[in-house]
Structure 1
């Protein structure tokens, strides 16, 4: 089960900040984070989430092309654009886990970011 967002502006800012931190890490050579951003971005591109939010499908051919495009875009232009797109689409879908703890940052709910930032 998934819920719709109804959090504070600080909670939304925390998710956006974590995506921006991922973009910075990817730009600084963190290949694991770069791959995560590429995968999540490609899931948005290759899904039909705007047409059917309940049974979103993934077009595998489109997904494979999107992965190549995301990798190229991240390497050439930086990962900020991927992170910004992911944030914008996530905000539009505005879905979170049951209980409201984690934001869905992909159309399927398999990639999550908490609405809070852990204090180090």
Structure 2
């Protein structure tokens, strides 16, 4: 996936919004007011990097499986991974990890907000 595809996919998540709370070159994607992904809009030497929240055990597995995945850049390395999106991860798998990040955020919300999100998702089906 390229940076535009990642942005489109993140925004396709039910209830997703984008903002720039850190600076004008770091785009943040939120759901229910909580961050599930962020990425720099300036290309690094090693490509564009997407940061996603991840279950701690799965985060380690993902880092071991793909060279393009490293512990979260500028974030809690236990719960966040950084993925170089232009490297060797298949698009379907990257989409899976974006969805996983959303799930990780939702499950940490209070039960009432979890129910609101579930209702919002079911209304769109």
Fold equivalence (TM over 0.5): no
Higher relative contact order (CA 8 A, sep 6+): 1
Q: Which has the larger share of strand?
A: 2
Q: Normalising by structure 1, what TM-score?
A: 0.31
Q: Normalising by structure 2, what TM-score?
A: 0.30
Q: Which has the larger share of helix?
A: 1
